[in-house]
A and B are shown apart, each in its own frame.
Chain A
Amino acid sequence: MTLSFHAETFRDDYTFANSPAAIRAFPFPFDRDAYMYTVNIEQHVPGPVQSATEFPIHIDEHYVAEMRDRAITLAEDPLRCQSLPHMMTAEWDLLELLMTSMATHYPAHFTLSRDGDRWHWINRPMDVDQTFTFGDVSTLPQGPMEYVTRQCQGDFCLLDQREDNLWMDAGMVTSQADWSLDFDLGMNFMEWHAPVPLAHDLGVFERALKFLLNLQHGCPVRRLNWTMTINPRLDTSPENYHRWGIDKASVTPENVGDKVHLRVELQALWRLPRSNAIVFSIRGYLIKMDELVTQKKWARRFHRVLASLPQPIADYKGLGRFRDTTVAWLSRHDDGLPTSPGFAPD
């Protein structure tokens, strides 16, 4: 598939926008008219053509702009990318996973040639041509995780498995929904999920952890998560809350359609072969309300989901300042008709 990449921004003048095809491919996260936490994990198998899950690693029209935004964030704050010393094998595993997947599914844009340990990587959209020795850090400009994730959409965490738990011991996190790698680094699965409301009482995390400890190589899984963001900003980090937090107060009935975005994370988990670590990828998608309501089913359903959302979840997701205004705006796009089953637009 040949993509044409947008010149757009995720800060300052916020020129980000989705094409009609990208709107249709948006991974809308609600398959019913209400939302509650579940262990919504499924096999990460290929989805429909031109959907976000068509390929294991999804590259789209926003690729070049997202990578440019990541570089800006990293230049300001290098701690968005960190790795503990015992994670080097997992870093190489991740590099292999991402490069082979991108080259296999987007051959017009990426090429990987392997001759034993001598690898040759070509990334045409970013004008990269790199020969290196797999396993030899000195042959790459950065560590393997930083190198490859500066060239792949989505945030990535590497989880070490020990003591029947998963430990967040490395990651590249520049487009997060208000959580901090620098704060969570070295925490285990229960610790970094501690702030989530309600789900602990439902036993969601015990079950999810037990499941993930048995994750097998070759059988990746995925789930969708969501929140809402004001302006199409990728870097909604706690470190920069002073820059974006105030935007929540800027929503008015007149600007909901342009300012308020549904932010969906396609999260996938892979067992890595050499390290026995797990990579947790968080591939984010943004869609403004004006774009969302071009799909009538999604407009009706999102209105109902947002209106009925339990208060603790709305608080945790930080929707308080603009939820009512957005629900009122969406109500004009909900004619009360029943919605069809499933996630896909009609």
Chain B
Amino acid sequence: MSGGVQFPVRVAEIEAVSPAVKRLRLERHDGPSLPPYSAGSHTVLTLEARTLEGGTRRIRNAYSLLGTTLGGGPAYEIAVLRSPQSRGGSVFIHDQLAIGATLSMSAPVNLFPLHRTARRHVLVAGGIGITPIAAMARELAAAGQPFELHYAMRDEASGAFAAELAALYGPAMRLYVSQRQERIAVRDILAHQPVGTHLYVCGPERMIDGILGDARIAGWPDSALHAERFLAPEGGEPFAVKLARSGIATLVGEHQTLLEAIEAAGVDAPYLCRGGACGQCETPIVSADGTLLHADHFLTDDQKACGKTIMTCVSRLRGRELVLDL
């Protein structure tokens, strides 16, 4: 069963928490309440976006669940950054989605969990990366676990939830505004942590790489470093895909992922995170006329070089045709 349990939800609240970020409250409307979840969990929303031609296009995007609804109940909350370069999901949510609209939302999945044997937690967020990080702070505060929170943003106005986090966590929280030339000094932060501390970072790809790089130089083991490596799958050149087992041939458009094209062709292909992290959509390749562009964090470099499988949610082909064993 691809995607697992789905909940039908209705948009109950939309609030602009910064000029580019909206908080959405999504209420289940078929009766039972939504289950609790652990901090760091995400959900996959299925959106039916209107196209310029007047049709609809199905988009599935993963969003971290906010800490406000950790206990489950009538609704879950997410925060969405308007990202014009994306495949249209966030722009649709910002510009078209209205209160009362109905959507399908997957059960929570956690690919960025807290390490429960850690003695202390250092949480680092950049921009919209604050969503899972703030949920972690909330869960740790409720459990009385020691943590500190470092939150970097471009300017004061763009920092979603900054004021309420500062009010909640006071001295355990520090803000960094890049417009004021404030930078997270990872080496200084890590130099004073006790043994058994774990580091979590979510933010732009470059920031993650920088922070993890500094931590490794400081001698931290990989087992104590955690990053939310969600990639916004970027588009690319169109290519043909043939599904050998089902005998279906279709085209992957420039703003479409391979997985979306397979789904549009009516095939119920496996997936879970839709972000190249979980490995669920790993699909065997029969042949590839072109170069594989692996964009996932699941396959090893050796496996990518072998070219025997592809993660359909984020990876694609630069070339003519890809034949999959599907």
**Is B252 at the interface (CB under 8 A from chain A)?**
no
Q: Please indicate which of the listed interface residues A43, A87, A160, A217 has the most CB atoms of chain B within 10 Å of its own CB.
A: A217
Count of interface residues, chain A, beta-carbon cutoff 8 Å = 18
Is A101 part of the binding interface, using a Cβ–Cβ cutoff of 8 Å? Answer: no
A260 to B166, CA, bound (A): 67
Task: Assess the B113–A276 pair: CB atoms within 8 A.
Answer: yes
Residue pair A217, B107 in contact (C-beta under 8 Å): yes
- Work out how many contacts link A and B, with CB atoms closer than 8 A: 54
Q: Are A273 and B35 in contact (CB under 8 A)?
A: yes
Q: Which residues of chain B are within 8 angstroms of A214 by Cβ–Cβ distance?
A: 272, 278-280
B300 contacts the other chain (Cβ, under 8 Å)?
no
Write out, one digit per residue, whether chain A residues 39-83 have a CB within 8 A of any chain B CB (1) or not (0). 000010000000000000000000000000000000000000000
Q: When A210-B279, A273-B35, A273-B38 are in contact, do A217 and B5 touch as well, CB less than 8 Å?
A: yes
**A32 at interface (Cβ–Cβ under 8 A)?**
no
* Chain A residues near B4 (CB-CB < 8 A): 216, 218-219
Q: Does B129 contact A (CB under 8 A)?
A: no
Q: A276–B109 Cα gap in the complex (Å)? A: 9
Chain B interface size range: 20 to 34
Report the Cα distance A210→B279, complex, angstroms.
9
Any B CB within 8 A of the CB of A162 = yes
A218 neighbours in B (Cβ, 8 Å):
4-5, 35, 107
Contacts of B278 in A (CB 8 A): 214
* A218 to B4 alpha-carbon distance, docked (Å): 8
Within 8 A of A (CB), among B1-44: 1, 4-5, 35-38, 41
**Residues of chain B lying within 8 A (CB to CB) of residue A180:** none
CB atoms of A217 and B35 under 8 A apart: yes
B46 at the interface (CB under 8 A from A): no
Question: Does A86 have its Cβ within 8 Å of any Cβ on chain B?
Answer: yes
Residue A335 lies at the interface, judged by CB distance under 8 Å to chain B: no
Known: A273-B72, A274-B36, A274-B38. A216 touches B115 (CB 8 A): no
Chain B residues within 8 Å of A162, by CB? 113, 115-117
A219 to B4, CA, bound (A): 7
Report the bound CA distance from A87 to B115 in whole Å.
Answer: 12
Residue of chain B at shortest CB distance from A93 = B36
CB pair B110 A276 closer than 8 Å? yes
Residues on the A chain within 8 Å of B36, using CB: 273-274
CB of A275 closer than 8 Å to a CB of B: yes
A2 to B117, CA, bound (A): 43
B240 to chain A, nearest CB (A): 30
A160 vs B278: C-alpha distance in the bound complex, in angstroms?
18
Chain B: CB-nearest residue to A218: B5
B37 x A274 contact (CB < 8 A): yes
Please report whether the interface of chain B is mostly helix, strand, loop or mixed according to DSSP: loop
**A163 close to B (CB within 8 Å):** yes
Q: How far is the CA of A275 from the CA of B115 in the complex (A)?
A: 11
Expressed in whole angstroms, the Cα–Cα distance for A161 and B110 within the complex equals 10
| Chain B residue nearest in CB terms to A272 | B38
Q: Per DSSP, are chain A's interface residues mostly helix, strand or loop, or mixed? A: loop
Bound Cα distance A275, B38 (Å): 6
Q: How far is the CA of A273 from the CA of B36 in the complex (A)?
A: 6
| Distance in angstroms between the alpha carbons of A161 and B36 in the assembled complex | 17
Chain A residues with Cβ below 8 Å from B113 are: 161-162, 276
Near A by CB (< 8 A), chain B positions 39-67 give: 41
Give Cα A202–Cα B108 distance, bound, in whole angstroms: 32
Which A residues from 244 to 301 make CB contacts under 8 A with B? Answer: 273-276
Shortest C-beta distance, B113 to chain A (Å), equals 5
List residues of chain A with CB within 8 A of the CB of B5: 216-219
User: Could you tell me the distance in whole angstroms from the C-beta of B155 to the nearest C-beta in chain A?
Assistant: 35
A273 and B108 contact, CB distance less than 8 A = yes
The reply to whether A43 and B1 form a contact with Cβ atoms under 8 Å apart is yes
Task: Give B25 Cβ to nearest chain A Cβ, in Å.
Answer: 19
Chain B's closest residue to A161 (CB) is: B113
Residues on A with beta carbons closer than 8 Å to the beta carbon of B38: 273-276
The interface residues of chain B lying within 8 Å CB-to-CB of A210 are 279
Q: Residue B96 at the A interface, CB < 8 A?
A: no
- B window 278-303: CB within 8 A of A: 278-280
Q: Which of A43, A86, A216 contacts B109 (CB 8 A)?
A: A216
CA distance A214 to B143 in the complex (A): 26
Inter-chain CA distance A162–B35, complex, in Å, is: 22
Residue B181 is within 8 A (CB to CB) of chain A in the complex? no
Asked if B179 lies at the interface with its beta carbon under 8 angstroms from chain A, I say no
**Across the interface, which residues of A come within 8 angstroms of B70, CB to CB?**
274
B223 CB within 8 Å of chain A: yes
Shortest beta-carbon contacts, A-B, top 8:
A218-B5, A86-B116, A276-B38, A216-B4, A273-B35, A273-B36, A274-B36, A276-B110
**A/B interface sample: 29 pairs, CB < 8 A:** A86-B116, A86-B117, A89-B116, A160-B116, A161-B113, A162-B113, A162-B117, A210-B279, A214-B272, A216-B5, A216-B109, A217-B5, A217-B35, A217-B37, A217-B108, A218-B4, A218-B5, A218-B35, A218-B107, A219-B1, A273-B35, A273-B36, A273-B37, A273-B72, A273-B108, A274-B36, A274-B38, A276-B38, A276-B41
Beyond A218-B107, A219-B4, A273-B72, 15 additional pairs, beta carbon < 8 A: A89-B116, A161-B113, A162-B113, A162-B116, A162-B117, A214-B272, A216-B4, A216-B107, A216-B109, A217-B5, A217-B37, A217-B107, A217-B108, A219-B1, A273-B37
